[in-house]
Amino acid sequence: MRAESGSEPHYVDERSGATYPIDDPRWCGDDGAPLTVSALPGITREQVDTGARSLWRYRAALPVRIDAPVSLGEGCTPLVEKSWGEDRILFKLEWFSPTGSFKDRGTSVMISLLAQRGVREVIEDSSGNGGASVSAYCAAAGIRARILTPATTSPAKVLQSRAYGAEVQLVPGDRGATAAEALRQSAHTYYASHNWHPFFLQGTKTLAYELWEDLSFTAPDAVVTVAGAGSTVLGCDLGFSELLTAGQIARRPRLLVAQPAHCAPLHAAFRAGTETPVPSLHAPTIAEGTAIREPVRFPEVLRAIRRSDGDMAAIPEDAIATAVRRLAAIGLYAEPTSATAAAAIEVFRARGAIRPGETTVVLLTGSGLKATPTMTELFAPEGDER
Amino acid sequence: MRAESGSEPHYVDERSGATYPIDDPRWCGDDGAPLTVSALPGITREQVDTGARSLWRYRAALPVRIDAPVSLGEGCTPLVEKSWGEDRILFKLEWFSPTGSFKDRGTSVMISLLAQRGVREVIEDSSGNGGASVSAYCAAAGIRARILTPATTSPAKVLQSRAYGAEVQLVPGDRGATAAEALRQSAHTYYASHNWHPFFLQGTKTLAYELWEDLSFTAPDAVVTVAGAGSTVLGCDLGFSELLTAGQIARRPRLLVAQPAHCAPLHAAFRAGTETPVPSLHAPTIAEGTAIREPVRFPEVLRAIRRSDGDMAAIPEDAIATAVRRLAAIGLYAEPTSATAAAAIEVFRARGAIRPGETTVVLLTGSGLKATPTMTELFAPEGDER
C-alpha cells in the first residue's frame, strides 16, 4: 500500500489498508496490527547534512521534522573491508554505537519523536539490547523507562538498563509472556517498543542511507544480515526503497538473511513459499538476540526479502560458533547473534547469491562485549579449570 | 629537545638528547629511556584525507609513510554536547572503537608500522584494555601476539585478548613484575608496548587532530582527561603542538588531568612542583585502568600539562562512583576509569580552570561494557540478594 504521491506522511496498516494521522500518539492500528509510515520520497545527496556526525545527517529523510534530536552519537559506523575465504567482504560495524548495538539507530529516532510529543514515561519489553538502548535514550531525554524482561533473564543482561536508571520489571514465564504483559500495560503507559513502533524502523532505515554514502552514493549489490524480528531487513528495505524512488540508486540490493537453525521461523516460511508461519524448530541458540518465535512483522520481512530478489539461510550452532572465532581472528569481536550473518556468507556464496566481483556488505550488529558469558564459553582455553 | 627545522623525522631521547634513525626497529633508547619522534610540522585542513572514516584521515601527520594501514575503523568518534551542572560539556566518546577503548588509536598506528617493517611476533604487557587492543590489531595484521598479564588478573579481563587469538601468559607477582618480565622477554621478541612505543603516541595524537576538525578547525579551550600512564595527555600535547606549529590553531588547550586519589603519583609531583615522583598513596581504585604506580613517561606527562597552563586533580573513590552514575543517567555508559575525568569537571570548575562560555572537552576513554563486575557493584539494586 503506497500513499498517493504528494500526500502528507501518515501511518498505514499495510494489512488492512487503514490509515491514521502521523500526529496520533499510536504505535499500532485500531485492530492491533503493526503500522508503517506511508511511502516517502527519499532524499538526494545534497540533502545530507554533512555537518552532523550521527544518523541525524539523514534527518531530511524522516517523515516528521524533529527539532531537538535525542542523540548519543549513533550512526556513522565504520565499513571495513576484509578477506573472507575467497571473497572481499565489507563489514559494517554497527557495534560502534552508544549502547553497543545497532538498535540505537531506531531508538534515537523513536525516542526523539516521543520526547517532542511530550511523552514522559514509556515501557519496553526486551531481554537484552533493545531494553538497554531504550533505557539509554530515555535517560538522555529525561523520560522514565520501565523495561519488562522475563524473570529468568540473568542480572548481568539487565545491568545496563538499570545503570541508565530504567526500572526493570521481571515477568514470570517466557519471552512471549513478557510481550503479553507489555501489551497489557500499554493501556496506561506509552509502549516504546523496538518491535512495534513505526519510527524505530525510520531510524533503522538510516543504515541504507549510510551504506549509500559510504559507497560514494551507490548501493551495494547485496546486504547480508541476521534476522530475529527483522528490523535490519525492514530498515534496509525502507531506506533503499526511498533511494530508488528518489532516483539515487539504480537497483535494490539483494537482502540475504540468516537465522540460527535453532530458531528460524522466517526461514521456514521463506522456503515454504508462504508469508505465514509454518511449523519449525525452536531450541536454545547462542545467537540469543534472534531467538524470536513470532516476529511482529512476519509477512513484511518476507516480502522485503523477496522483493529484493534476496535469499535466506538457516545456520547451525557450530557454524555460528566458528564464525565468531573466525571474525575475532581477523580483529572483529562480534557477539554470536551478529556473527550469524558472517556464518551465512559461505552458504550464500555456494548458492550464487553472493557473487565474486560484486559489492557485498555484512552487517555486524552487536559487540562481543555484550555477550561475555557466551564469549567466555566460546574462547575458554583448552583444559581451563573454570 | 626539538629537531632542526627541515630535518628528517628521527627518534629522540628527550632526557639525554640522543637521537636514532626512525627506521631502527627500536622502542627505547640505548640506555632504556623512552623515545619520542622529533618535532613534526603538522598538517593543514587541506591535508586531511576526508575520504577515510578513521584516524587514517590524518595520516599525512605521521612521521613515516604507511602504505597499508591496519585499520578496524578506529577514530572518528562522536563529540556529544551535554549539560553537566551549570556547564555545557562536549564529551568525546572514545569507546566507539574496535575494542571499546581509546587505545585503538595508538595501537592501529603502532601495529601498522610494525607490520610494514615485517615484524611477525610481538609481546605486550597489560592487565586489560591495552592487551585487548594489541591483540585485535595483531589479529588483523596476521602478527602473533603474546600478552603478559599479572597472574591475579581475572579470566574475564583477558577473555577479549584470548578471543583475538593472542597467547596470554600469566606472570606471578604484581603489575610491576609483569612489566619487568616483558622487558626481559623483549630481548628476543619485539616489544609492542602501548606505554613505550613512540608510534603509539603518534596514533593517540590523532585525538587532537580530530577535536580540531570536530570543532570546525579550532582548538577547544580545555581538554579534561584521566591519566594512568598519561597517553591521552601526551597524545593531545603532540597533536596540538603540531597544529600550533602548522599555524592551524591560535593556542594550546589547557590540559586538565585527573587521577584517582588512591593512585595519583603524577598529581602528587605536579602539586609538589617537581618532575620526579614524590611519596604518594597507592590503594585499590575502581578506576582500574589508571592504577599505574610508575608511569614510563613521568616527567614528560608533567611537562605537557604545565606547558599547556593546565592543572591536575585527585579524585576520591566515591566521587568517581558518583560520576559513573551521573554519566549513565544522561545516557553515557562509561567505565569508571574514564568517568574519573567527568568527576573532575566540578573540581576544575571551582578552581577556574574550566570557565563558563569556553569550549571544554571531556574525554571518555572506555566503555562500561568493559568493566561489568565493577558496574554490577555500582548499579546493584538496593536489597539485591546477590
Rounded to a whole number of angstroms, the distance from the CA of A6 to the nearest CA of chain B is: 36
Whether residue B155 lies within 8 A of chain A, CB to CB, comes out as: yes
Do B372 and A372 count as a contact with CB atoms less than 8 A apart? yes
Q: Which pLDDT does position B11 carry in this prediction?
A: 98
Angle subtended at Cα B159 by Cα B158 and Cα B162, rounded to the nearest 5 degrees: 90
Pairwise CA distance, residues A340 & B153, whole Å: 31
Mutation test of the interface with chain B: which of A332, A333, A372, choosing the one with the most B Cβ atoms within 10 A? A333
Whether residue A143 lies within 8 A of chain B, CB to CB, comes out as: no
List B residues 319-348 in contact with A (Cβ-Cβ < 8 A).
Answer: 325, 328-333
Residue with grid cell 591535508, as numbered in its chain: B47
Q: Does domain A120-191 have CATH number 3.40.47.10?
A: no
H helix intervals, B10-124: 103-116
Do A163 and B386 count as a contact with CB atoms less than 8 A apart? no
Q: At what angle do helices B298-307 and B265-272 cross, to 10 degrees?
A: 60
In chain A, the residue whose alpha carbon lies closest to the alpha carbon of B142 is A330
DSSP β-ladder status, A79-84 and A87-93: antiparallel
Pairwise CA distance, residues B68 & B62, whole Å: 13
Strands (E), A246-335: 254-260, 311-315
Pairwise CA distance, residues A97 & A73, whole Å: 7
DSSP letter for each residue of B230-290: -HHHHHHHHHHHHHHHTT--SSPPEEEEEEETTB-HHHHHHHHT-SS-----B---S-GGG
In chain B, the residue whose alpha carbon lies closest to the alpha carbon of A145 is B329
Do A100 and B369 count as a contact with CB atoms less than 8 A apart? yes
- Burial (CB count within 10 angstroms: exposed 0-12, middle 13-18, buried 19+), residue B20: middle
Contacts of B159 in chain A (CB under 8 A): 372, 375-376, 379
H helix intervals, A33-141: 103-116, 129-141
The three grid cell numbers given for residue B158, joined into one nine-digit string: 583477558
Q: Which pLDDT does position B5 carry in this prediction?
A: 45
Of A379, A44, A58, A132, residue with least CA distance to B167? A379
Residue pLDDT, tens place only, B168-226: 999 999 888 999 999 999 999 999 999 999 999 999 999 999 999 999 999 999 999 99
Whether residue B167 lies within 8 A of chain A, CB to CB, comes out as: no
Do B333 and A136 count as a contact with CB atoms less than 8 A apart? yes
Whether residue B367 lies within 8 A of chain A, CB to CB, comes out as: yes
Do B333 and A80 count as a contact with CB atoms less than 8 A apart? no
Q: What single DSSP character describes residue A263? A: B
Dihedral sign for Cα atoms in the order B338, A55, B222, B134: positive
Pairwise CA distance, residues B59 & A330, whole Å: 23
Contacts of B73 in chain A (CB under 8 A): 77-80, 93, 96
Q: What single DSSP character describes residue A47? A: G
- Burial (CB count within 10 angstroms: exposed 0-12, middle 13-18, buried 19+), residue A299: middle
A114: left (phi over 0), alpha (psi -120 to 50) or beta: alpha
Rounded to a whole number of angstroms, the distance from the CA of B146 to the nearest CA of chain A is: 14
Do A333 and B163 count as a contact with CB atoms less than 8 A apart? yes
Phi first, then psi, for residue A212 (nearest 5°) are -55, -45
Contacts of B163 in chain A (CB under 8 A): 325, 328, 333, 368, 375, 378-379
Q: Which pLDDT does position B1 carry in this prediction?
A: 38
Phi first, then psi, for residue B182 (nearest 5°) are -65, -45
Mutation test of the interface with chain B: which of A91, A102, A129, A159, choosing the one with the most B Cβ atoms within 10 A? A159
Contacts of A160 in chain B (CB under 8 A): 333, 368-369, 375
DSSP β-ladder status, B254-260 and A121-125: unpaired
Whether residue A372 lies within 8 A of chain B, CB to CB, comes out as: yes
Computed over every residue of chain B, the mean pLDDT equals 95
Do B78 and A72 count as a contact with CB atoms less than 8 A apart? yes
Residue pLDDT, tens place only, B88-116: 999 999 999 999 999 999 999 999 999 99
Pairwise CA distance, residues B302 & A305, whole Å: 59
Of B233, B377, B239, residue with least CA distance to B301? B233
Do B370 and A372 count as a contact with CB atoms less than 8 A apart? no
- Residue numbers in chain B where pLDDT is lower than 70: 1-6, 381-386
List B residues 51-80 in contact with A (Cβ-Cβ < 8 A).
Answer: 53-54, 71-73, 76-80
Pairwise CA distance, residues A145 & A142, whole Å: 9
State in Å, rounded, how far the first CA of chain A is from the last one: 56
Instruction: For domain B79-101+199-378, give its CATH number from 3.40.50.1100, 3.40.630.40, 3.20.20.140, 3.40.50.300.
Output: 3.40.50.1100
The ranges assigned to domains in chain A are 79-101+199-378, 120-191
Size of interface A-B (CB pairs under 8 A): 136
Q: Which pLDDT does position B58 carry in this prediction?
A: 98
Do A328 and B163 count as a contact with CB atoms less than 8 A apart? yes
Q: How far is CA B374 from CA A159, A370, B362, in A?
A: 11, 15, 22
Contacts of A333 in chain B (CB under 8 A): 98-99, 136, 160, 163-164
List per-residue pLDDT tens for chain A, 386 residues long.
344 445 899 999 999 999 999 999 999 999 999 999 999 999 999 999 999 999 999 999 999 999 999 999 999 999 999 999 999 999 999 999 999 999 999 999 999 999 999 999 999 999 789 999 999 999 999 999 999 999 988 887 899 999 999 999 999 998 889 999 999 999 999 999 999 999 999 999 999 999 999 999 999 999 999 999 999 999 999 999 999 999 999 999 999 999 999 999 999 999 999 999 999 999 999 998 888 889 999 999 999 999 999 999 999 999 999 999 999 999 999 999 999 999 999 999 999 999 999 999 999 999 999 999 899 999 986 644 43
Of A257, A285, A267, residue with least CA distance to A363? A257
Whether residue B378 lies within 8 A of chain A, CB to CB, comes out as: yes
Q: Of the candidates A71, A97, A162, which has its C-beta nearest B381's C-beta?
A: A162
Contacts of B328 in chain A (CB under 8 A): 139, 163-165
Return the SS3 of A87. Answer: strand
Strands (E), A227-368: 254-260, 311-315, 360-364
Residues in chain B: 386
Strands (E), B33-181: 36-37, 79-84, 87-93, 121-125, 144-150, 167-171
Return the SS3 of A274. Answer: coil
* Contact residues for A357 (Cβ-Cβ < 8 A; gap 6+): none
Rounded to a whole number of angstroms, the distance from the CA of B313 to the nearest CA of chain A is: 26
Contacts of B72 in chain A (CB under 8 A): 78, 80, 93, 331-332
Whether residue B363 lies within 8 A of chain A, CB to CB, comes out as: no
Q: Which pLDDT does position A30 carry in this prediction?
A: 96
* Contact residues for B93 (Cβ-Cβ < 8 A; gap 6+): A72, A73, A98, B77, B78, B79, B80, B332, B364
List B residues 279-298 in contact with A (Cβ-Cβ < 8 A).
Answer: none
List B residues 96-115 in contact with A (Cβ-Cβ < 8 A).
Answer: 96-100
